[in-house]
């Protein structure tokens, strides 16, 4: 982990945007902003390799990543209202106490855990898909109980907001 933080960094600034050094009036009219970002060299190399295969340049890829980030995280920290979704978990069932934690968490948060599907992937690993429905705040709390637990190899939340609190309008 330390390697990540102490890796040499490169600036994305140079080729982040192909605009001239000073904003032109045309650029200002389009509402485009430039910014500099420092990232670990290894991360940048991997990023460049992947986006090249996908046919994106850095500007486009970073815009997509920023939008994904907002979709993914805004609901987790800001949204209030009614939502549906799934929590997909891949875990090692041999880790002591983990299955009990997964079950007790679902019991404790039965107001938002509608149902669950369990598939035994191989000798050790299981896939658990929990269907969620309820207040975003309660879903967030249930997910928070499991995030970072030892033995959970992957935890992915997919949420759609049905009704924003105060808005009274269905968006999905």
Q: Which is nearer to Ni ion, 78 or 123 (CB)?
A: 123
Q: Which is nearer to Ni ion, 126 or 130 (CB)?
A: 126
Neighbours of 10 (CB within 10 A): 16
Minimum Å gap between C-beta 111 and Ni ion is: 25
Question: Which residues are CB-neighbours of 124 under 8 A, at least 6 positions away?
Answer: 92, 93, 94
Q: Scan for tokens 């800001």, then name that residue.
A: 78
Alpha carbon separation from 167 to 61, 79, 126 (Å, rounded) = 32, 11, 39
* Residue closest to Ni ion, measured at CB: 126
Q: Which is nearer to Ni ion, 81 or 151 (CB)?
A: 151
DSSP 149: -
Q: Which is nearer to Ni ion, 120 or 153 (CB)?
A: 120
Minimum Å gap between C-beta 100 and Ni ion is: 14
| 145 three-class SS | helix
Minimum Å gap between C-beta 98 and Ni ion is: 11
Minimum Å gap between C-beta 38 and Ni ion is: 43
Minimum Å gap between C-beta 129 and Ni ion is: 12
Distance of alpha carbon 41 from alpha carbon 9, whole angstroms: 5
Distance of alpha carbon 143 from alpha carbon 112, whole angstroms: 10
Q: Which is nearer to Ni ion, 110 or 120 (CB)?
A: 120
Distance of alpha carbon 56 from alpha carbon 64, whole angstroms: 10
User: What are the tokens at 120?
Assistant: 């035994």
Chain residues that interact with Ni ion, rule: CB under 5 A: 120, 126
């Amino acid at each position: 982990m330390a390697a990540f933080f102490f890796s040499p960094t490169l600036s994305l600034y140079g080729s982040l945007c192909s605009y001239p050094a000073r904003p032109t009036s045309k650029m200002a009219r389009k509402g485009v902003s430039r910014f500099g970002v420092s990232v670990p060299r290894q991360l940048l190399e991997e990023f460049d390799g992947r986006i090249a295969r996908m046919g994106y340049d850095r500007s486009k890829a970073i815009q997509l990543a920023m939008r994904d980030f907002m979709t993914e995280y805004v609901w987790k920290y800001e949204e209030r209202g009614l939502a549906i979704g799934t929590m997909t978990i891949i875990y090692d069932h041999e880790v002591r106490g983990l299955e009990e934690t997964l079950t007790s968490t679902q019991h404790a948060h039965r107001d938002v855990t509608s149902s669950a599907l369990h598939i035994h992937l191989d000798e050790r690993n299981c896939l658990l898909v929990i269907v969620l429905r309820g207040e975003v705040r309660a879903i967030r709390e249930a997910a928070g109980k499991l995030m970072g637990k030892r033995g959970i190899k992957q935890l992915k939340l997919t949420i759609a907001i049905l009704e924003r609190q105060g808005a009274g309008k269905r968006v999905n």
